[in-house]
């Protein structure tokens, strides 16, 4: 206790000892030390607020840039989608043109096959007619050869007839 007995107790201007009932009785009284502490706390809190605000501002700017980039990417995606739709439409119309061309070619092939079949029938008809004409020609040649051979066997008789005809014509008769 001797240690505490020599201790001097400090009081504020009103005479109240800090942390005692007397000070609590007058809570509205602010000392210079309290003001210095309050200003220090305020300065500290202001610095914290400024740091937090700066961090939030940077985060907001980063989010804003990300949002703008996202909007840009979205617009580009929309343009790409539109281009793809145009390409699909173009491909669809090209596919339709190809389909129509294929059908036209099929129809043309069928028409050519029909013409080929008709030409083959006509060729067969002509071949049959040519065969008939060749047979008729052979028959005529055989008859001509037979007639020539028969005429070659009787050359004297035909020469005599020929002379008698000439003599009749000279005598004023008619030519037969």
pLDDT per position as a tens digit, 44-58: 999 999 999 999 999
The pLDDT of residue 34: 86
145 CB neighbour count, 10 Å cutoff: 10
- Neighbouring residues of 168: CB distance < 8 A, sequence distance ≥ 6: 174, 175, 176
pLDDT exceeds cutoff 50 at 9: no
48, 55 in Cβ contact below 8 A?
Answer: no
Residue 170 near residue 164, CB atoms below 8 Å: no
Cβ count within 10 A of residue 22: 14
pLDDT at 154: 74
**Per-residue pLDDT band at 1 (split at 50, 70, 90):** very low
Residue whose structure tokens are 């080929």: 116
Domain assignments of the chain as residue spans, ordered by start? 11-147
Residue 21 CA to residue 24 CA, distance in Å, equals 5
157 contacts 151 by C-beta, under 8 angstroms: no
Distances (CA, A) of 68 to 65, 72, 138, 173: 5, 6, 101, 132
Q: What is the DSSP letter of 137?
A: H
> How far apart are alpha carbons 28 and 42 in whole angstroms?
19
Give the residue-averaged pLDDT of 84-108.
91
Statement: residue 157 has pLDDT above 70? no
Q: What is the mean pLDDT of residues 7-29?
A: 56
**Torsion angles phi and psi, residue 19, rounded to 5:** 80, 10
The count of residues in the chain is 176
Of the candidates 157, 176, 151, the one whose C-alpha atom is nearest the C-alpha of residue 166 is 176
pLDDT above 70 for 169: no
pLDDT at 152: 82
């Amino acid at each position: 206790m001797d240690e505490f007995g020599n201790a001097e107790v400090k009081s504020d201007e009103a005479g109240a000892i800090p942390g005692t009932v007397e000070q609590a009785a007058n809570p509205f009284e602010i000392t210079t030390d309290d003001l210095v502490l309050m200003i220090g706390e305020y300065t500290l809190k202001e610095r914290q607020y400024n740091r937090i605000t700066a961090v939030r501002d940077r985060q907001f700017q980063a989010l804003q840039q990300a949002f703008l980039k996202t909007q840009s990417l979205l617009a580009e995606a929309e343009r790409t989608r539109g281009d793809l739709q145009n390409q699909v439409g173009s491909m669809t119309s090209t596919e339709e043109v190809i389909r129509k061309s294929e059908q036209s070619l099929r129809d043309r092939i069928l028409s050519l096959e029909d013409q080929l079949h008709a030409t083959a029938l006509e060729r067969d008809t002509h071949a049959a007619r040519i065969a008939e004409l060749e047979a008729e020609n052979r028959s005529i040649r055989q008859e001509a050869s037979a007639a020539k051979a028969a005429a070659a066997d009787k050359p004297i008789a035909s020469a005599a007839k020929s002379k008698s005809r000439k003599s009749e014509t000279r005598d004023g008769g008619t030519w037969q």
